[in-house]
Structure formats: structure tokens, C-alpha cells
Homo-oligomer: A and B are copies of this chain.
Amino acid sequence: MKQGKLIIISGPSGAGKTTIVQALLAQSPGAYFSVSATTRSMRTGEKDGVDYRFVSREQFQELIRTDGLLEWAEYVGNYYGTPAKPVLDKLEQGFDVILDIETKGAKQVMGKYPEAVSIFVCPPSFAELERRLRARGTNTEEDIRRRLTQGRSECKNAGMYTYLIVNDVQEKAAAEAAAILTAEKCKNKAHLSVLKGE
């Protein structure tokens, strides 16, 4: 059976990654959106297995020890990472898998799976990103500053991604994501019998 595609999506908070992820899910029947594991506490409104898989420090460290994570990092005393098993199972079954992860984690995944399709999503400018973050109306000034600083730092790592989508107009960005997946599926077909002249 044909392996699914492993698709890495990164980009600053507010760049519009959700639009891209939804376009890819709509395009690829049965595609799996990976849910990260974390040791931080669940916040109001979050659901286990939807926003994150909430695990204990012991469980997370066991995953690290057994090489059970595609990528992981520690932030402010909490662990975050991508459990490998559900991702690899889905790929094996022929389904595409989408990871929405930060650039540091993406680098780890690219190292392990050079065949992964990597897409960086960025805003047309940081002035526009700031405008979008303010328009949400739910972020504090400190939060906006933090996201902008982190976004600038993420953007400086965009060069390691194969594809870049400038999310200016949502529909265009979604169409580009769908096109990238279609194009990637036109690669590596050397196994087809017609190519042996049959």
C-alpha cells in the first residue's frame, strides 16, 4: 500500500495556519491532524485529545526514553511534543498526516523524515500580523508583543521549508496549500507499470 504524506505546517501565531490545515484536511480524505502531547495543565474550555493530549511528566519522559516522539521541547517547565505512533500508523495505512508545529520541532521532524512536505505560512507583513492579533480582541498587550517577537523569530527559520505560503487572501492561501498537496502526489510514481512500457 502507498504511504501517506507527512505534512509539516509552521508559521507565526496569526498567520492563518488554521485555514491551511482545513484546506489540506478537506482535500485529503481520511487525513489525520496530529494532536500534540503536553504536561501543562488543561485550561478552561480545552479538551483532552482535541487541543492536546494531557499527560503526566512520567508519561512524557517515558515517551522520550522510548523514542516515542517525532519532536519535543520544554517551554517554561512544561513538555510539548508529537507522539510518533499515531502519526506513523496513519502514514502506514496510506493516510496523509498534518503536523502544526514550531520551527524547532519541524527541524527535528525534517531530520528524521526528509521526505516530509514542509510548508511555512507567513503573513504579508508584521504590521498586518499585529493588526490581525489586535482584531481578535482577546489578546492582552503583553500577549500581542510576545506573539510578534516569537513570530519574527519563527520567520527567520522559514528558509528550511520547501514551500512558503504568504497568507494575504485566505482563499488564495487555501488553494495554494491544496495545490502543493496535489503536486506532491504527482511525485515518486516510478513504481507504475506503464513506466515499464506495460
Residues of A that sit less than 8 Å from B by CB: 119, 122-126, 151-153, 155-156, 158-159, 162-166, 175-176, 178-180, 182-184, 186-187, 189-190, 192-198
Contact = CB atoms under 8 A, between A and B. Distances in A.
A197 B156 contact: yes
A156 B158 CA distance: 37
Given A125-B194, A125-B198, A194-B125, A186 B163 contact: yes
A5 to B, nearest CB: 13
Contacts of A123: 194
A56 B105 CA distance: 60
Given A183-B184, A198-B125, A189 B176 contact: no
B195 A122 contact: yes
A166 B178 contact: no
A166 B182 contact: no
Determine which residue in A156, A159, A192 has the highest number of CB atoms from chain B within 10 A of its CB, and name it: A192
Contacts of A196: 155-156
Contact of A197 (B124, B155, B178): B155
Contacts of A182: 175-176, 179-180, 183
Contacts of A189: 164, 166
Given A155-B194, A156-B195, A156-B196, A162 B187 contact: yes
Contacts of A186: 119, 163-165, 176, 179-180
Contacts of A183: 163, 176, 179-180, 182-184
Contacts of A155: 194-197
Contacts of A162: 187
